[in-house]
Structure 1
């Protein structure tokens, strides 16, 4: 499965470089091989792999709640820009969905992907034209139209 996903993502990196939002989402449930796929892509391309939860939580630790909400986009941008290179792999993005941080994770990632190609492990699914995160009713639940998103999942590859 990992090789299959990697083989789908690597050619999309060049395609994404020509798009307005240079964002590739690897969508799948926990245990679907997203992290292993990112590690394989890292070995093949040399792109830096960032554990967003770990790096961002270090930066947010000394801030109060309001400061965290306001500073998160800038801090994540700094983390990504410090990575160097044109392609950055992002894993463990769950912190971005924390309701207390009041962020729109997809829009944030799209904005950050204007200057670098981002390949992101997304713990969710694509169904009936929508990209989802978490289950309906969960505080972190998000649902986005998948149109105009570059999405790879264990089931299929989509450019909507």
Structure 2
């Protein structure tokens, strides 16, 4: 599977939006596959949950939504290497208090470089979802502008 993902990284270089999402059920090996790609391509993985949370700790809670996108951009610029950004643990982006659209942010980063990210939700009938309907963090998106890489 790592060979297929490695080829995909090269294939998406010519696309307008260079975003590929690793999608699969919990414990299917998405993060492990991303780590294999990290070792193969010698690019560090940006753990958004840990890194962004650490950066937001120094920002007053009432102002975090104003700074989250810029802090994430700085982190992405720091972790990107050779035109490639690897991202895991994006759940913090769904926090309603940050007022972010996680998929839109990933797509924005994918205009400047190839982005491979682990998606913590499901793909069903060409729709990406995060959390269940009715959950405060529920999100639902179409898959336009990205390449789904399904792991079963």
TM-score class normalised by the smaller sequence:
over 0.9
- Look up the match of 2:138: 141
Matched length: 151
The answer to whether the aligner puts 1:81 opposite 2:81 as a matched pair is no
Check the 8 A contact 1:98/1:140 in 2, yes or no.
yes
Q: Alignment partner of 2:97: what SS?
A: helix
The answer to whether the aligner puts 1:54 opposite 2:50 as a matched pair is yes
* C-alpha distance in structure 1 between counterparts of 2:42 and 2:72, whole Å: 21
Q: CA deviation at 1:154?
A: 1.4
* C-alpha distance in structure 2 between counterparts of 1:76 and 1:123, whole Å: 18
- Look up the match of 1:68: 64
TM-score by length of 1: 0.88
Check the 8 A contact 2:107/2:145 in 1, yes or no.
no
Check the 8 A contact 1:50/1:89 in 2, yes or no.
yes
Worse overlay, 36-45 or 13-22: 13-22
Does 1 or 2 have the higher relative contact order (CA < 8 Å, sep 6+)? 2
* C-alpha distance in structure 1 between counterparts of 2:150 and 2:142, whole Å: 16
Q: CA deviation at 1:22?
A: 1.4
In structure 2, runs of 5+ residues without a counterpart are none
- Look up the match of 1:158: none
Q: Over the residues paired in the alignment, what is the CA RMSD in angstroms?
A: 1.3
The answer to whether the aligner puts 1:31 opposite 2:27 as a matched pair is yes
TM-score by length of 2: 0.93
Q: CA deviation at 1:91?
A: 0.6
